Amino acid sequence: MQKLYETQEKPKRAVLVSIIGAQKSFADASDDDKANELRGLAESLNLEIISHEKIKVREKSANYGMGSGKAESLSQKASEMKADLFVFDWNTSPSQQRNWEELSGLPVVDRQELIIRIFAQRANTKEAELQVKLAELTYLLPRLTHKYIDLSRQRGGRYGTKGSGETKLETDRRKIEKRIKQLENEIEQVKKQRQVQRRQRERNNIPVCAIVGYTNAGKSSLLNALTGANVDAQDKLFVTLDAVTRRFQLNPEVSVLLTDTVGFIRDLPHALIKAFRSTLEEAALADILINILDVSAPDIDKNYETTLSVLNELSVQTGKSIENIPMITILNKIDKLPDKEQITDIQSRFPGSIAVSVKNGLGFEELKDKLLTFI
């Protein structure tokens, strides 16, 4: 009788670690919101979450980001639970990452690397692959001794079929720097192609509206609903990495171009912002911005601030002030809030906003009227 062998790799067993009250960019967010976001990021990589440790730290240690005693305790607990890796909800320094890996014997993935790996999982086009690879190598360069655990094997699809971890362990600093330069040159060519496409649109004199917002707020769903596009829209983080543009007919005489963009998130790694600059420029150089918010998100105000923060960083890079671009704020997923008073309360915090349900088509006529007014 033939033996049956399991061919599908089991999910990696992860211990999530959050430091409560010590993350500057999360200062206004509740501990539950931060924990839920970290869990969502980890689940996006199909990790099996076996524990989520929330650590209160009075002073952050340079060696571990917490006291050595607590670090040893966490390492022992992870060993007893047979964990495969640690996932930290803050950005570690290369030395902290090495210290943790030497102490625990386990790979350590910080928030930057977690987000970069999700981008790598979602990359389905040549342009996205180039940009994600650049971000990966930029992150890796100061961490060549990092115990890299190959999560890319779990994702399937055509991106990274050899497993990005295999080459990372073999590549020395000189080769990585050479590859980074090659990728920057290739992305520069992509940027020139986008500039040509942008000039063609300008000659047609059609306004461009960029849809921006926090990841999973419904940007791709809005584009699909308004234009009949077939952009992949799932209830997952960072499904869209490439800018997708479609024509939207406001009335028989007037049309606009709607551009879907990559979603934003708190502490979006600088390497990703730099690598995806050619894609994100679609937002910075648009005629109108449509900022979409998920009203069901518990931290909607912080999500709004994060979007504006990333847009401002882009404006510095492109030299075009975001403040000069008209912005329409739409509140999506009102179908999830049956209490009308709750919707009214949220609208009062965002003056001039439009309440919509992309799922049910509510609020689209008001959005059309607002676009026509701006044009």
pLDDT tens string 180-237: 899 888 888 877 777 777 676 666 778 889 898 888 888 888 888 888 766 655 555 5
- Among 16-25, 58-67, 145-154, 293-302, the range scoring the smallest mean pLDDT is 145-154
pLDDT in tens, 343-368: 888 888 999 999 999 888 889 999 99
pTM confidence score: 0.73
Task: Write down the domain spans for the chain.
Answer: 13-109, 205-374
Of all residues in the chain, the percent with pLDDT exceeding 70 is 76
pLDDT on residue 235: 54
Tens digits of residue pLDDT in 21-41: 644 444 444 556 677 888 888
pLDDT of residue 158 exceeding 50, the answer is no
Average pLDDT over residues 59-72: 83
User: Same CATH fold, 205-374 and 13-109?
Assistant: yes
pLDDT (0 to 100) of residue 161: 41
Residue 275 pLDDT:
65
Instruction: Kindly report the average pLDDT of the chain as a whole number.
Output: 79
How high is the pLDDT of residue 77? Answer: 94
pLDDT of 1:
43
The least confident of 4-13, 233-242, 253-262 is 233-242
What type of residue sits at position 211?
I
Lowest mean pLDDT among 125-139, 142-156, 186-200, 350-364: 142-156
CATH class of the region 13-109: alpha beta
pLDDT-based confidence at residue 316 (cuts at 50, 70, 90): low
pLDDT score, position 115:
86
Instruction: Please determine, looking at this structure, whether the domain spanning 205-374 carries the CATH number 3.30.300.20.
Output: no
Q: Can you give the pLDDT at residue 162? A: 44
